[in-house]
Structure 1
Amino acid sequence: MTIDSMPGTGAPDDPPASYEDRVLGCLLGTLAGDAFGVLTEDGAGTAGVPEEPTASSISAATHLTLSTVDGIVEALEWANDGVAADETACLWLAYLRWSVRQGAQLPPEAPAPPARWLDRQEGLPPGLRAAAASLPALATGAMGSRARPLNPSAEGPGALMRSAPFGLVPRIPGGMVERLTVEAAALTHGSSAAQDAAARFSGIIRRLVVEGAAFDDGLADAATRGAAFDHPTAAGGGGPESVGAPRPTASATLDAAVHAVRAGATASRSPQEQRAAVLAAAVEAPVRGSSPVVAASLAGGIIGALHGTAALPPSYLTAPGVPAVVRAMGRTLLSATTGA
């Protein structure tokens, strides 16, 4: 039984998307959801995903997701050359390059990694929205870890929103996907709750994209993965994402995205109709304590992981600008992982 023949995930006669198409669909779906969430938050209504996102219509979710792709690709490039690489260090350098792109001034003791292809793309605008904890952590120039956490109280969705690419890598054990996700999250978010949510999300994406699981099966399998991971530290209070009125948490934001997909994905709708309904659900009925913008980007990524590029506006497959950068990074990831 394929993904699209399962109740609540797609039209019964739709052919299943290929692995390669699901990878591209997940990354472009993240972009589409991000753009939709930002425009809605800015008061542009919920008319639909823009045909081509502009510089003002994406948050840090898209750029940091691509930075995760770039860090994974760099580690794979070293491995393919026969050189052992520290995957987490490669990811940290990718996030540092992102922070410099945002105008951060790193301390002298911080590494100064040379720019890679992604960092030179003018079509990908800088963006800080939804990065409340990530930028300050990176600006310290210190490499956070589970044992030596930065921002131990940061429970927001900044690490969660960049974690989908870990679930796109084939031919590695699920436990390794979880470990990489948690270690990458700990670079900026020391809270075990934020790390757990990131691991749950990458587990969902892996089940859908790599294993071709049905949506509900992917959720059931991933539900316990993050919670079961052994963390040496626990969240405290007073961090940059836990002060004052209720702020978005990673756990609530992931719950909002999953709820939106369940509410909007029905067998009577085409993939594009599902995408529209899911994104509307993510921003119109947000879960308390969630970030609607990030929830929309996660929901878009999940729908793309389910249906591939069939769930996207056709222009996302040809448009210049941000969509072109996303497509190029998707192809680069596929080349590094499968040679495709």
Structure 2
Amino acid sequence: MSVEAPSFESRVHATLLGGALGDSLGYAVEFDAIRAIRARFGDAGLTSFNQLDGGSHFSDDTQMTLYTVDGLVEALEWANDGVAADEIACLWLAYLRWLATQDVAASPAAPVPQPRWIDGQEVLKHRRAPGNACLSGLASGEMGTAARPVNADSKGCGTVMRSAPFGLIPHISPEAVAKLSMDAASLTHGHPAARLGAAAFSLLIHHIVAGSSVRTATTAALEYIDALPATAPELGGRITEALRLSAEGTTLGPEELTTALGEGWVAEEALAVGLYSVLSTSGSTPAEHFSAAIAVAINHSGDSDSTGSIAGNILGALYGEECLPADWMEALEAPEVIRGMANRLLAVTTG
């Protein structure tokens, strides 16, 4: 399939919208076993929004991704005004504002952030199965770091699923992308796999946006992660296995998928399943590839919204808006809010 390279603006919009589409479809079956999914939707599982009754909603994955965008935007706004800003502090404040939307009180020791545009969007003020580590890490009032971690043993996928925006900042080095995503991951998760998983995913997006294929971008991300002093062998092992299995050309069934790569509840498994879903599928058009990949990403007994979100982020970065199925976009919750955040990121990065 040969398509014209999308613009940077199209990639930014599609990364956020594609992630929200995968998240939304996956959220409908997030806690269902594959047997229950098949019983409800047929042998092929859930493959389209028109199979859902009563509309769809995106989850905490999209919420936190958008708040990641907002933290980056605030830091870049300060920088563009000639004022040095602590990017991780801006992200921490953004995540604390997200925490408030979940009706969870932060410790009195935490700072009180000033409200921003995103905080006025009512659609984001719903509790949609947020991750426990994200909630507890932020509620602690401690600004977690690699040296002083909160949730030291947690490697849940809550770091990976919110990290695509770090790969969307133009004109910064892979080293800066990795450091930003790892430091932001440390705000809620302390396990090396959670931190390195966030770096691997954001580097993957970074290289795709720069024009690399998904497989080439993955290899580059792996090489970078492998050279870091921190180690998480399970991360490299799962990603390498996703590359190997997808190269064999046989699509795994849902049971085989989770046996080989995991259910996606932890960082390395979510990234591996999302990546495999993209690399093991194709289509005659970008939209067909998107639909096929999301079907693989969400139809399994696991964290379907996170694996769907990751696959959607990857495909959006690769193809731009051309890959977003028109009928799916009509079903997407609050696309204007997602586009609003994309436009804010573009305004501070491209003018």
TM range (shorter): 0.7 to 0.9
Report the counterpart of residue 330 of structure 1 in structure 2. 342
Q: Determine whether 1:276 maps to 2:297.
A: no
SS in 1 for 2:123: coil
Q: Determine whether 1:224 maps to 2:192.
A: no
Q: How does 1:222-301 map to 2 (within 5 A)?
A: 222-231=221-230, 248-264=265-281, 266=282, 268-285=283-300, 291-301=303-313
Q: 1:284 to 1:56 in 2, by over 3 A?
A: closer
Cα distance per residue 1:245-274 (max 9 Å; x no partner): x9821001100011111112x2x5211111
Letter in 1 for 2:57: S
Hey, what's the Cα distance between the residues in 2 that align with 1:90 and 1:51? 40
Report the counterpart of residue 317 of structure 2 in structure 1. 305
Quote the offset at 1:285 in angstroms: 4.6
SS in 2 for 1:40: coil
Letter in 1 for 2:266: T
CA contact 1:283–1:293 (8 Å) conserved in 2? yes
Cα distance per residue 1:163-211 (max 9 Å; x no partner): 00000000011100000000000000000111111100000100111x1
CA contact 2:170–2:349 (8 Å) conserved in 1? yes
Q: 1:109 to 1:117 in 2, by over 3 A?
A: same
Q: How does 1:41-80 map to 2 (within 5 A)?
A: 41=30, 43=37, 45=41, 46-49=46-49, 57-80=57-80
My pick for the range that moved more, 304-313 or 87-96, is 304-313
Report the counterpart of residue 33 of structure 1 in structure 2. 22
Letter in 1 for 2:179: R
Q: Extract unaligned runs of 5+ from structure 2.
A: 235-262
CA contact 2:200–2:225 (8 Å) conserved in 1? yes
Hey, what's the Cα distance between the residues in 2 that align with 1:222 and 1:310? 25
Hey, what's the Cα distance between the residues in 2 that align with 1:112 and 1:189? 21
Cα distance per residue 1:128-161 (max 9 Å; x no partner): 4252210011011110001100001111100111
**Identical columns (%):** 41
Cα distance per residue 1:277-328 (max 9 Å; x no partner): 1011112256xxx622201100011111111111113367688852110001
Hey, what's the Cα distance between the residues in 2 that align with 1:205 and 1:303? 9
Report the counterpart of residue 245 of structure 2 in structure 1. none
Cα distance per residue 1:47-88 (max 9 Å; x no partner): 314699988622110000000000000000011111100000
Hey, what's the Cα distance between the residues in 2 that align with 1:284 and 1:100? 32
CA contact 1:33–1:300 (8 Å) conserved in 2? yes
SS in 2 for 1:223: helix
SS in 2 for 1:153: coil
Report the counterpart of residue 168 of structure 2 in structure 1. 168
Q: What number of residue pairs does the alignment pair up? A: 313
Q: 1:140 to 1:317 in 2, by over 3 A?
A: same
Letter in 2 for 1:226: I
Letter in 2 for 1:19: F
SS in 2 for 1:123: helix
CA contact 1:318–1:324 (8 Å) conserved in 2? no
Quote the offset at 1:29 in angstroms: 0.4
CA RMSD of aligned residues (A): 2.7
Report the counterpart of residue 253 of structure 2 in structure 1. none
Q: Extract unaligned runs of 5+ from structure 1.
A: 1-10, 236-245
Hey, what's the Cα distance between the residues in 1 that align with 2:205 and 2:269? 18
SS in 1 for 2:280: helix
Hey, what's the Cα distance between the residues in 2 that align with 1:252 and 1:151? 19
Hey, what's the Cα distance between the residues in 2 that align with 1:137 and 1:131? 10
Q: How does 1:128-143 map to 2 (within 5 A)?
A: 128-143=128-143
SS in 2 for 1:189: coil
Hey, what's the Cα distance between the residues in 2 that align with 1:86 and 1:308? 30
Hey, what's the Cα distance between the residues in 2 that align with 1:23 and 1:15? 16
Hey, what's the Cα distance between the residues in 1 that align with 2:296 and 2:264? 20
Q: 1:194 to 1:15 in 2, by over 3 A?
A: same
Letter in 2 for 1:295: T
Letter in 2 for 1:159: T
CA contact 1:150–1:190 (8 Å) conserved in 2? yes
Hey, what's the Cα distance between the residues in 2 that align with 1:122 and 1:55? 17
Report the counterpart of residue 8 of structure 1 in structure 2. none
Letter in 1 for 2:144: G
Hey, what's the Cα distance between the residues in 2 that align with 1:85 and 1:127? 30
CA contact 1:51–1:316 (8 Å) conserved in 2? no
Q: How does 1:100-119 map to 2 (within 5 A)?
A: 100-119=100-119
Q: 1:172 to 1:273 in 2, by over 3 A?
A: same
Letter in 1 for 2:295: A
CA contact 1:317–1:327 (8 Å) conserved in 2? no
Which of 8, 11, 23 pairs up with 1:19? 8
